[in-house]
Amino acid sequence: EPEVTQTPSHQVTQMGQEVILRCVPISNHLYFYWYRQILGQKVEFLVSFYNNEISEKSEIFDDQFSVERPDGSNFTLKIRSTKLEDSAMYFCASSVRGPNTEAFFGQGTRLTVV
Amino acid sequence: AQSVTQLDSHVSVSEGTPVLLRCNYSSSYSPSLFWYVQHPNKGLQLLLKYTSAATLVKGINGFEAEFKKSETSFHLTKPSAHMSDAAEYFCVVSDHGSSNTGKLIFGQGTTLQVKP
């Protein structure tokens, strides 16, 4: 069964460092998302990506964040200069048709900023 | 704006007894609603979805949910809990805002504990 895969499963980084979280969405999906879950809090939307551009982003997704689909298969989230409060589980998701359809999620990357 | 509220942060049941996880939604539009489950150290897995077809929706692993517009509810049920059902459950609504990008809005989650 096709699945969304994320690497690494766990990333520890020092404050101020850049991190790249990687995702391989399901191959025929057209809509891509990043969500995050800070420990003990809700899953929050970060950004959606369609047709090679950002279609929506949340207030959380500031200039420190960027997304890219560099080669037609990978979908990456970059945090330019990490802060302690970026520590969270980051989930990548993809869907076939976007609105009103279910999204398929990866297992997540746990980012710890020290 | 769309939102979901999960009424219980923690539910504990005995194995073999019914499960009820409660969810209320708020939406200006006809909503698309989902339940996702997250087992420890696993990703988010879709249990079931409601997208304006039948109001009683059947999902995987014996779970069901009923969409009740008059009560703005989408409660998740299962007749008989199994130990493997112990997990975190999320009620989710698809955002119908102006961008309509398929963004999902999550409830706070309900931890289901199943006792032997």
Spell out, as residue ranges, where chain B has pLDDT lower than 70. 97-99
Mutation site, B103, B105, B108, B111, interface A, largest A CB count within 10 A: B103
* CB of B100 less than 8 A from some CB of A: yes
Measured over the CA atoms of residue A37, residue B67, residue B96 and residue A101, the dihedral's sign is positive
Residue A97: pLDDT above 90?
no
pLDDT at B27: 83
- Average pLDDT over chain A, rounded to an integer: 94
Residues 51-90 (B) with a CB less than 8 A from some CB of A:
51, 90
Residue A100: pLDDT above 80?
no
Residues of chain B with pLDDT > 70: what percent? 97
Which residues of chain B neighbour A55 with C-beta distances below 8 Å? 99, 101
pLDDT at B97: 65
β-bridge pairing A5-7 and A19-24: antiparallel
Identify the DSSP state of A90.
Answer: E
CB count within 10 Å of CB B71 equals: 11
pLDDT at B77: 98
Asked if A95 and B102 come within 8 Å (Cβ–Cβ), the reply is yes
pLDDT digits (tens, 9 = 90+) for A41-94: 889 999 999 989 999 999 999 999 999 998 878 999 999 999 999 999 999 999
Three-state helix/strand/coil letters over B23-86: EEEECCCCCCEEEEEECCCCCEEEEEEECCCCCEEECHHHCEEEEECCCCEEEEEECCCCHHHC
Residues of chain A with pLDDT > 90: what percent? 82
pLDDT at A10: 96
β-bridge pairing A88-95 and B19-21: unpaired
pLDDT at A79: 97
pLDDT at B29: 78
Angle at B12 between CA B11 and CA B18, to 5 degrees: 90
pLDDT at B71: 94
Average pLDDT over residues A7-29: 96
Which residues of chain A neighbour B105 with C-beta distances below 8 Å? 45
Measured over the CA atoms of residue B57, residue B12, residue B107 and residue B87, the dihedral's sign is negative
